Amino acid sequence: MIRNLWYAVLESRELQGKPLGVMRLGERLVFFRDADGKPVCLYDRCAHRGASLAGGKMAGHNLQCPFHGLEYDATGRCVLIPANGRNAPVPESFRMPSYPTHEEHGIIWVWWGGNPPPGLSPPAFFDDLKGLPYWTTVRDPWDNHYTRVLENQLDVVHLPFVHHNTIGRGKATLVEGPGLEWKGETLFFIYPYNKKDDGSKPRTPSEVPVPPVDSEFKIELIFPNIWQNHISRKVRILGLFVPVDETHTLLYLRFYQTFMKIPGLRWLIGKLASIFNLVVAHQDRRVVNTQLPKADGTGTGELLIQGDHPIMEFRKKRLALKRAAENR
């Protein structure tokens, strides 16, 4: 994982009134809400004896360790050691590291790095999803590095083989392009042009129209771990590729639609679409979980082809971000 970036790690609905302990980015973290309801993220470890704080409870607006009752505020500083008395000063060393958080669009991000810069900008999100109030979500565990799972969603070559009876019907095995368009430092669009093999030589990424003249469909990526399948103006799928550790990922898939306004039918459509999304994801998971190594595939000697152009761009940008983080 690359330091000094915003990572989407939870949905807001997962963090209610109780502390929530999770493994994210290879670290044991605990989340709770402060006096204003803002998410707080600390290392899930008590400075006293190393117990998990996630098993504790809220004492007012502080997080209380379940072992000896030490209380931590929203900055990670211990403000009370009960055994020493309520008026006793707490040594400055009794402190747990914390990460900045941001909550918006029903998502919680953490800025995974040390010494965040002044005036830290909030994480980017897809403009066309910001005003959409309704979605349904499924959450799916994968046994692979989050980049392996994400790269699968940038891979247009696998569709007619892995998804031959779902989204890849039609035997469109010839991959033209795909087209790719950078829309900023950390956002790009992918435009697939797959077709049946008619014996022709596929056009290169520079030869296909970008954007297409006759289609709204595109795949979008915001670094480091948010993806959108822009199916049409009225149907979108959002993916959060949440790093658990170096070999495990949680995939959150959201289904958005704006064509049905009736609440009951809207819920039913969302539920059925989410089930279908999970079926498609499991077709992918069955194969991706066999990839070796389990960790990031960059530099592992894979022989990429023209149709893998989006994966090449993804890896190139990750390498640049990694170098920037190391030089900070």
d(CA 318, CA 177): 22
* Residue 98: per-residue pLDDT: 95
Cis peptide before 39 (omega within 30 of 0): no
Which CATH number is 5-112's, of 3.40.30.10, 2.102.10.10, 3.90.79.10, 3.90.550.10?
2.102.10.10
pLDDT-derived band at 295, boundaries 50, 70, 90: confident
pLDDT digits (tens, 9 = 90+) for 57-110: 999 999 999 999 999 999 999 999 999 999 999 999 999 999 999 999 999 999
**Full DSSP string of 136-180:** EEEEEEESS-HHHHHHHTT--SSHHHHTTTTTTTT---EEEEEEE
Specify which residues 255 forms β-bridges with. 136, 237
What's the rounded mean pLDDT across residues 243-267?
A: 96
Pairing state between β 226-232 and 235-245: antiparallel
Residue ranges of domains in the chain: 5-112, 127-326
Average pLDDT, the chain: 95
Convert the pLDDT of each residue in 113-131 to its tens digit. 988 888 899 999 999 999 8
Is residue 328 predicted with pLDDT exceeding 90?
no
In eight-state DSSP terms, residue 275 is: H
pLDDT band at residue 214, thresholds of 50, 70 and 90?
confident
The reply to whether omega before 82 is within 30° of 0 (cis) is no
**DSSP-assigned letters across all residues of 36-53:** TS-EEEEES--TTT---G
Instruction: Give the model's confidence band at 326: pLDDT under 50 very low, under 70 low, under 90 confident, else very high.
Output: confident
The pTM assigned to this predicted structure is 0.94
| Preceding peptide of 178 cis, ω within 30° | yes
Listed residue (122, 119, 101, 118) closest to 110, CA to CA: 101
Q: Which fold has domain 127-326?
A: Naphthalene 1,2-dioxygenase Alpha Subunit; Chain A, domain 1 (3.90.380)
- 25, two tokens: 């980015």
pLDDT band at 112 (very low <50, low <70, confident <90, very high): very high
